[in-house]
Structures are given as C-alpha cells and as structure tokens.
Structure 1
C-alpha cells in the first residue's frame, strides 16, 4: 500500500479494513463434510493470506459442488464482501446466511460479524445490529474486531434514521462522457460551471510495478453538458497525481502527488492559456513529512483547509487549517478539533466560498457505511458538530469528495453506489423545483421611547413559555434605529424580556401562529415613562404586532427542501446568525438575499403602515414600579389585544360631587394635622373599593411669580400624594398635579380670600 490509489482502493472495497481477521488462520477444512478437501485447502490457504480476489473463484467453484457446506459458504461470502464492486458485495448475503445457520465447528464466530456487514450492505439494518450483538456475546473481550463491530452497529443506526428522513434532492450520474468502467472521483467545478476537473484511473495509466495510476482530467461544459475530457499533462505524470481544489475562476488548482513511501504532499498549478503550468509545492509548513492528500482554499486565499495524518490529531486522517499572517506567510497548523475530527479518517475538505460551511467525508461511526459526506458550520468563529449530509447523498456505499457551486444551487460528488458505470462515478446534486415552504416566522421589530419615539439601545431575552427555558442567545437592538430581528418556529408562545436603558425590564408575551410557510411579523414596542412630578414612578408600554404576510401569500419567502432539514438547528437556539449560516448552505439564494436585505435595512418597521395592516394586534398597559415584584420583569401579554390601546387611566369619572379641600400656610407645602384628618375617610373608601382612583390638584395664590407658584402647587400636591401613598394607596391609583396660581385676578384678593387659594383639592374617580 505505497500509493494513494491503493489506500483508497482498500477503503472503496466498502468494508476494507473491517474485513481483516487479525491473527486468524481459519481451520475450516478439518470440519468440512461436503467439499473437495484438496480444492478447499487451496482456497483456504489463499483466503488466510487475505488474497480474497484470488480466493473468490476457488470458492465459487466449490459452491457449485457443495452448495450447503458451511466452510465453503463462509469463505465465499467474505470474498464477495472484499470486492470493490457493490454488485459483487451484494452476493455475500446468501452464502453467509447459510454459513451462520449451519455454523458448527467449520465456521468461526466471525461469521456473525461478516453477516452483519452483508445485512448492512443490503440495508437490513435491524438484522445487521442483531448479528453484531451475537458476535459480541461470543467474542473474547479483547477481540480487536469488537470495536469495528460496534462501529457497524452505529452506522446501521445512522442508516435507519437517515433513510427514514430522505432528502428530496435530485441526483444524477453525469454520464459516460465523464464516467467509465474505472474510477472517477474528486470533481472540481469553476464558478460558472464551464470547467470540470477530476481525478481518474485508466487502464493505460500505470505506475512502476504495473499498479493503476491516478491522473487529472479536464472537460469543458455548458448547461451541465460536458465535452470529451482530456488528460491534464503535468511534470508529475510518472507519479500518482490527483486534483483536490480549484479556484472559482478556474485559474489555479491544488493537487496531490504521492510518494514511494506511501506519503504525499500538496502542490499548486496555474492555468496559462489552455495549459497548466507547474506544479510547485504548496508553501511550508502546509506540507510535512507525513501524508497530506486533500485541501481546499478559502475564496480570499487567506486560509487553507487540508487533510493530514501528522502527529497531534485524533487518529487517522484529520482536517487541519492554516491562515496567512499579515506578511502573507502561512501560520501554525490548527486541528479543527473533535467537532470535525474523530479517530477514523476525515478527508477531502471543501470550504464553501461563504467561509463558514465545510464539507468533507469520513469513514467513521457518523457515516451510514463506507465514506459519507459530512457538513459542518462555523458560527461566531466556532465549528459546530459536523452532521451527516443525509440520504440519498450518502448511502451504505462510498460517497465523498463533495463540492458545492458558489451560488449553492448545485453539488458534485463521487460514489460507487450501484447503477454507475464502474467503481467510483461522479454524480450531480440538484434541488427540485417544488421547494418546501419552511414554517418559520421572522420577527422584525423596533423599540422606541417617549413621546418623540426615539430609538433606544435594548437587549431582548427569549423564554419558551411551554418549557420556561430561556433561549441561549441574547438579542440586541440597533442602538441607532432600535431595530431587532428574531426567528421563531410556528405554534409556540414566547416571553420577550425587553431591557431598555432607563426602563425596568419589560416582559412581552407573543404567540407565533401555526403556518406552513415563511412569513414576517412586524412588531413595535413603545415605552414611555410615567412621571409624578419630577419622579419616574412607572412606565407605559404599547406593543403592536402586524401580520402582513398571513394575508399576502404572494410575499411568502420560499426556503428550499434541504434547508428544511436544518430547521432543527434553529428550533432551540433561535439564532439569526446561525439561521443565516444555514441558509447560505441551504442552496436558497432568494432567502439569503432576503435576509441580508433585512439585516442591512436601517428601519425594517419604519415604512410599515401598522395601523393599516390586514391583521394587527395591539396591547398596552401601565406599570408602576412599586407594584413590581423584586427581580421580576413587568409583564404584558401581547397575545390579548384590542382595537386600540386601553390603559388603567382611560376616561376616569367622578364618584361623588363633593370635593375634599385641604389648605396650606403662606409659601408652605407642609400638610397640617388638622387637615390631614380629613383625608382618612378617603383612605378608607379607597381601600374598600379597589376600582377607585384619586385625583389630587394643587394650587397657590397669586402672590409671587408664576414659576414659583407652579412649583409650590406641585409640592403641595406631592405632600397629599405622599399621605395617601404612605397609607397603602399605590401610585397607580393616584393622579397628582400642580396647577400654579388660580388666576391673575386673584392677585387683588384680600388675605382671607387668598387663603382659600392656597389649597389642594381631592376627588375620588371611577374607571368603570
């Protein structure tokens, strides 16, 4: 295994290293009762050397004469599994079932392990897991195949789930112009899809020793139709050379060249006219003394992602990354970590032009079987756990080398699934015309303050009312516009805890209705302080929700079916930026451009005629701080609305005709005891009837200037307010105001009449 091709061929045999039987010399001949012992001995000798290709015809001949011999059937079944051809692998099921059902002493316990592989290949995942359990029950605890058997079981579970949740995508073999009876893989396409570069093996391409050699081929195309490919002539032609990355303009290519010791390095070539020049090694320290066999460059050329088995990884091949410094030199190699890499092999990285979406393939426990395409998202600088790209992109066969077009509408990858032209073929991935509608709601809102409706800096926390669990992300409104954006799934209620500068935390309850498409909810939260004199004693909040798109289906935003599989990423996080990352990878340019427009808009609700919306919810209320429970936000249920705001102070009416009056000394605001006693009956009446409010009006005589008299009247009204408040009447039930002097004519009153103007009048009011 000194070349990159042979390394891949073992893995492409589908079960490759999973088939190896360490330290086993199968002595099945001693218990065979039916087969020709001399012929069986020859077949088993080759089998024990793990030369399954040569053993296969020997066992086939024995099967014809001894169809039920368990030893013959076991050797035949394992030899079938070792084939690189899936159609040949499928033949393993029948003989392995015969061997397992007639096991006896002629067949080792490994038959359950290999039968699990055959069931898995046939997509009989439940049967495969049952055979793994049988193998584990009888195998020695230190048997090295136990770990491999458990991985088969994990892959079977993956297959059950992923195939039950099939993606509605379009897959097509690109056809015989490109594919052949040999292997074609690692497809690379430039931005306008006029150039396809790929790696292939041909019968006439040999390295020293006669082994097949990898070479690079290039085809021109238009509208998905490719012309006859031509081999790319390079100075490395005598060695295994494969294409691994292509720049969007098709002018630069990264490639791999193998070495005689089984390692290999990355090279770069440039297109000059119609010919490729080079290649030259990629600058150090990307290459090492170990194997680097795949890479992808970021769109701006400042980062490279590559596969390597260098020390410091998690095992096998890992995905690493390097960035260029300010001098244009490559920095330190950074392993992408356990969210991407495992102790299996992770290879063929492809970083999308968005710089946040990474594809690669793996042969580990996250696959359905063989190689599987994986996808990972980088969000706020951190790579989230890679996920299987799903069925039918991935199958129980080998599927890898995935690349995506810059606009996100097409993909290309390689697979050895049945129905192709040969070993590995190149396939096209497309999105169906009938796109699913994603039932998400985009809440586009703003927070404004005061009579001038000035935007204010705000943070918004989201709580799921059903679970009482807070959503991890905290949203911040734009400090200049007051705008915010949040994404919600349908059919749930949420509490928005709005924390704005100068206000107590305000809790606003909203209900996201059930719907089957993507639409917008416009929201405006208007906060106003409630003042009593120069003191802020509470706040008034008004919430308007305008559901435009529920009545205008022509404005629904289409999000494609592949994005539907990403909804789970936002159901719990409600993270707009994570949603943006998912849309970028979801192959929906319309949704991407739409969201970008919304994010960059200076005022998403400013142009919305809230009062004329087809469906609108309006809710408002007054909240006094003395009523608030310690540590609890002030709560307003915006799901309970009315045609116009209704507050506790709307249209108060007098309860009684009589007005209680208290008087004050000249230029004084102290409440005298003789008058204070007159207020006690009013206190008792207010406590008896909680629906009553009280109106306090302060006055002064005409002596002095108007500003002084207005201030004095306020102080007198405040003194009476304090009397009621100290006796348990909350401020929300009190309206107090100073009106200054009674009139200019009062200036000419005598002292006795002026005394009557130094007063506070108290009226009981009803809000019923």
Structure 2
C-alpha cells in the first residue's frame, strides 16, 4: 500500500550555498507532496555531500510520508548522530520496527525519551515499546488458514483492495496507467473488474470499470459497493492539477434507471482539506465505515462510521473510539455479519507496518483487539480484507516481499483437514428367556435408542430375525430400551467409547463399524413368583447387606423400566426355628427390602412387603445346608398391571 493514502505535511528547508538551486527544486517538490521527486533531487545532493543534514532529513521524511518508512533508516541514523531529537529517534525506531529489527527499534525508542518532556509524545513512544513486547506473543487467529499470491491476477504495478459484488470482483490497479504519481513514483491507479465465482476469478477478462469512466492523472482506489449493488463509493484524489481537490475524498455513484450516475463528492467528507478513503458498507448497507485524518481522532488516520439517513445520504461521522483507533493509523474497515470488525493498523502490536486485526467481544462482553497472526500478516503492509465465504475464504492485499509487483492481491482459504467420519452401526437383537434356560428370537419388539441427553435418537420394531439396526456416533453413551406386551421392559446402557478406531489412523473419508448387542426379555406373568438370587441377611438380622443391595438394585431397575406394574416382595425362611419367630423375621426382612427400594425412588404404593416364614418351603424335609438355603429365599411377583 505504497501510495494513495497520505497527506502533505508542511516542512521548512534551509537553503544552502553551493546547492541552492537544486535544494530549492527539491524543497518545492517536497512541500507539494511530490515525495519521490524530492528523493531523487536530494539524492543528487547527497552524492556530493553525504553528511548534508537537510538532504538526509528530507529524504527520510519523504520515505516516511509516502509510506516507505522502512527505507528511511540510514537517513534518520544520520540525523540522530548529528542532530539528535525525539522525532528523529522515534521515526528511526518505526523504520527499524517496520523491518522487524525489534531490538534496535526498542533501543531507538528508549533513547528518544531523553529528548522530550511532552507527556503525550512519551506515552506514544512507550506504546511503541510495549507493542514490540506484545508482538512476540501473537498467536494465529485462524491457525489453518493459508495465504496464496493471486499471481495470475497481479501485475508489476499495484493491485489491491478487491471486493466481490454480483459475480464480479472489483479492485484497484496500476495497469493501464496514464501518468506517474509524484509522491511514490509509481503509476496512478484506476478501478477494474473481472467475473468471479468466489475465489475463482476470470483473470483473462479484466476490464476497466464499466459503470463510469476512470479519470486520468489521479488515483481512483478502494471501491465499496452496497449490498444491493446500487451504490458505488470510492476514494479519489492526488491530482497534480491546482484546479482539483487538495486531498483524497470519497466519491459516490448511484444506479439510476439505465445506468450509474457520474460520481460526485460526498458530504460525509465535510472538508476538502481532510483525507478520506478506504470506504466499506456494513452487511446490511445501513452504515458506511471509512478512514480519515479529520480532527477529533486519536492519531494519524482513524476509522469513522456514518449511518444512512432516510433520504439515503449518510449522517455525521462518528469516531469508533480508542479501542480500535490508536495514535498510529487505522484503515480498511470491514464489518462481518456476526459483529466482528476487521481492519488494518500500524498502531496495535504487530509485525511491522500495517497488519490485519479483528475487534471482537470476549466472554465478559468487552471489546478486544486481536492480530490475525503471522499466517496472514507480514512485516510489510497487509490490508483490505474481504470475505467470499466468511470466515473460511477471501482476499487480502499486501506489498510483502516475493510478490509479483507493488501491492498484490492474495487469497486465503481454511485448509483445516476434513475430519474422517466413523459411523457405528449397532445391531440390537431381541430375545426371550425360556423356562429351560435357553433363549429364543423375539420379533416385533419395540426398541428405542436414547442419547446421553435423554433425547430419542431412533426407534423401530425388531424384524423376524429379532434385529433392529441403529447408526450411532463414536465415543458416545446411549440407553437402549426394549419392550413388548406380555414381557418385562428392559433398558440397558450402551457405549461406543473404545470401540472405534482413531480417526487420525484412517485413510478412507468414511468408515463404518458394525457392532452387536442382545437384549433378553422375561415374560411378565401375574402372580408368578420370581426368585431374587443372592439376597442374604446376617443371622437373626433384617438389615440390607451391601451384597443384597446389589441384587435389589436390579429389581429397582425392573420397576423403573416397567412403571405400570405393582409387585409383592416376599421373604421366606427355613424351618429351623419356631413358626412365630420365622414369620416375624421374614416380615421384617421383606419390609427392609421394600424400604430400601423406596429409598431408591420407587413409589411405596407399588410395593407390598410380605413375610411367609416357613409356610411355603420348597423342600419340606430339608436336611442339608444347601437344601435349607433353597428354602431361605426372597421372591417377587407382579400382582397388578396398571393402565398407563
């Protein structure tokens, strides 16, 4: 971005004896903003007198004011050696910083402190020192984005600030130039367009802007097009004609009927002597953002916002404030649809000159500024971001090394590898438990799959083979519920964790993993006693032991899976004590079991505790301990099935 964006500073030069006429020429060139011509003239003076301070000063300032401060280092070094001042050290530091000579830059800024007591200058100087430190910790905002020079579109001159509108890419270029811009010695720029589909540009059919004619002998740059395509705003200026405007200003053209109107000066410029450029519309077209050096800002160039009025004009511009704007330069704004604000700045911590930044809100709602990082930015100027697919793809502009020409257009894409997809196909087989201990296929069983969030993710009836198939995700937890009339419903947990391969080891884009599981249902028969195995009590005790609790938890689950049933839980003893004692003990044990299940969330009205003592012996003449244990049992039976 070596041209088109700088204002002319007044400067007084001393006229020295033998070189008086040459210095007068160079002085006039410098004061009129013809910085490259002034550099050429004063270089001739330095060839005969390398220690000429005025020549070094003018060349240094000319490079700085034409945004080539990195080339000013040797000239500012001459000044700090012979006539040290705060300005000389400060601008030397900026020149070194632009070349990423950070240690030397910091030294220059530190030395500059001794040449001023102005608190504002010292604060700005300290900000530069802190920025160097902060730049060392910058992380890439989009780690997987890759930047590529659009070589087929670029030329040896300037090409920058592309925007996409209605299948055309509009941009600024020095091709087909009709003159040389004296400030930089590079061709004047015009506006062009080419057909485009996202990042794909028809580079063989670039044409000069057809909506209205480019003017000759000045710069036309940084175009903005409203979302509806009916308004074009661009920056125009740098004419050498004394009859033209003194500085860069925003011009607008409207679509009216058969075509666009002749561009006119916008009232939002306010003053002809102010520099206004790099316009951009908000996504809905209701706001215009642009850069300006008008009074009331926080530094050299600030970003301002104007809101569209009812008559389609834009109201009084408002400065975006000190979070975005700095004592340096901010320009090339771009508001994204999600509220993130992108812009270029040389005042926030970065890698050299203009870097691309984003302003976004953190978790607490405070706006913070983030450098986009080294995969997007460089030590040169990086600016003019435009998204073709937010935030995955788009364009930026840069004059970094190894480009095709001056400013070049680059495109970026998110190169995050597509994740390998693993589908888990689970076959659920439904079976029933037979009285002889075998299992048989149980078709037409309703099977439902629930995720860890308890939301249903699938459901169907098992086929004639007793199979239902579900598609599941890797590393996830599920619950499967099977139900059929005349059978106890059953729910089982199922996890795919640890059952699938690591996606990073896969070659194919999609891999299917097939797994199997079986759910066995028991018949639900009223008044049929079912023995609960392994329910033990201590001698002459009714308290629930930990091992008995494990078994009772299984019954709790059956009741939870079958909310319509009501059961009787019974306890039986052997015959080795009195009838009365055994009856009392069994009742207490049955009640303890019921109380335990109530404590686990089962409604008390669904449970009946019944102690039978030794009245229902399985082996009436038990003699061995094994036979007595068979008689000492806990059972349950369904005594009611309630309507749901």
TM-score relative to the length of structure 2: 0.57
Say if 1:270 and 1:94 are closer, same or farther in 2 by CA, change over 3 A. Answer: same
How has the CA–CA distance of structure 1 residues 357 and 711 changed in structure 2, closer, same or farther, with 3 Å as cutoff?
same
- Cα distance in 1 for residues equivalent to 2:476 and 2:382: 46
> What is residue 434 of structure 2 aligned with on the other side?
none
Q: 1:182-197 alignment to 2 at 5 Å?
A: 183-190=158-165, 192=167, 195-197=169-171
Matched, 1:8 2:12: no
Is 2:303–2:333's contact at 8 Å kept on the other side of the alignment?
no
Q: C-alpha root-mean-square deviation of aligned residues, in Å? A: 6.5
- Say whether residues 1:245 and 2:224 are aligned partners: yes
User: Aligned pair 1:524/2:473, yes or no?
Assistant: no
Separation in 1, partners of 2:99, 2:609: 90
Question: Is 2:234 the partner of 1:255?
Answer: yes
Q: Quick one: distance in 2 between partners of 1:218 and 1:260?
A: 26
Deviations 1:711-742 (A, max 9, x none): 7979x99975776999x99968x9x9647697
Q: 1:267 aligns with which of 225, 241, 252?
A: 252
| Contact 1:371/1:397 (<8 A) preserved | yes
1:230 and 2:208 are equivalent in the alignment: yes
Counterpart position of 2:534: 653
Distance 1:695 1:58, change over 3 A: closer
Aligned to 2:620: none
SS at structure 1 position matched to 2:97? helix
Aligned 8 A contact 2:172 2:189 in 1: no
Q: Secondary structure of 2:497's match?
A: strand
Instruction: Give the alignment of 1:712-727 within 5 angstroms.
Output: none
Partner residue in 1 for 2:525: none
Give the 3-state SS of the residue equivalent to 1:8 in structure 2. Answer: coil
Structure 2 residues not aligned, in runs of 5+: 238-243, 425-445, 459-472, 482-490, 518-531, 556-563, 572-583, 617-630, 636-644
In structure 2, distance between residues paired with 1:330 and 1:452: 63
- Residue 497 (structure 2) aligns with: 545
Quick one: distance in 1 between partners of 2:509 and 2:192?
A: 44
1:130 aligns to what? 107
State the alpha-carbon separation in 2 of the partners of residues 123 and 708 from structure 1. 78
1:105-116 map, 5 Å: 106-108=83-85, 110-116=87-93
User: Which residue in the other structure is 1:405 paired with?
Assistant: 388
Match of 2:332 among 341, 348, 353: 348
Alpha carbons of structure 1 residues 227 and 542: separation in structure 2 relative to 1, 3 Å: closer
Once the two structures are TM-superposed, the CA of residue 108 in structure 1 deviates from its matched residue by 3.6
Give the counterpart of 2:64 among 74, 79, 82: 82
* CA shift for structure 1 position 106: 4.1
Q: Deviation per CA, 1:464-519: give whole Å up to 9, x if none.
A: xxxxxxxxxxxxx6x86579xxxxxxxxxxxxxxxxxxxxxxxxxxxxxxxxxxxx
Local SS of the residue matching 1:188: strand
- Structure 1 contact 412–428 (Cα < 8 Å) conserved: yes
1:153 alignment partner, SS class: helix
Give 1:7-86 correspondences, 5 Å limit: 8-10=5-7, 39=19, 51=31, 56=39, 60-61=43-44, 63-67=46-50, 69=51, 71=53, 75=57, 78-79=60-61, 81-82=63-64, 84=66, 86=68
| 8 Å CA contact 2:478, 2:494 repeated in 1 | yes
The answer for the alignment partner of 1:491 in structure 2 is none
| Correspondence for 1:599 | none
Aligned partner of residue 112 in structure 1, secondary structure = helix
Identify the residue that residue 153 of structure 1 maps to in structure 2. Answer: 129
Q: Partners of 1:44 and 1:205 in 2: how far apart?
A: 22
Match of 2:193 in 1: 218
Q: 1:658-673 maps to which residues of 2 (within 5 A)?
A: none
Give a deviation string over 1:589-636, Cα, whole Å, max 9, x none.
xxxxxxxxxxxxxxxxxx9978459xxxxxxxxxxxxxxxxxxxxxxx
Q: What residue in structure 2 maps to residue 93 of structure 1?
A: 73
The answer on whether the counterparts of 2:590 and 2:609 sit within 8 Å (CA) in structure 1 is no
- Please give the secondary structure, in 2, of the residue aligned with 1:118: helix
What's the CA shift for 1:118?
3.0
Give the secondary structure class of the aligned counterpart of 1:365.
coil
Number of aligned residue pairs: give it.
515
Shift of 1:8: 0.8
Higher deviation after alignment, 360-369 or 251-260: 251-260
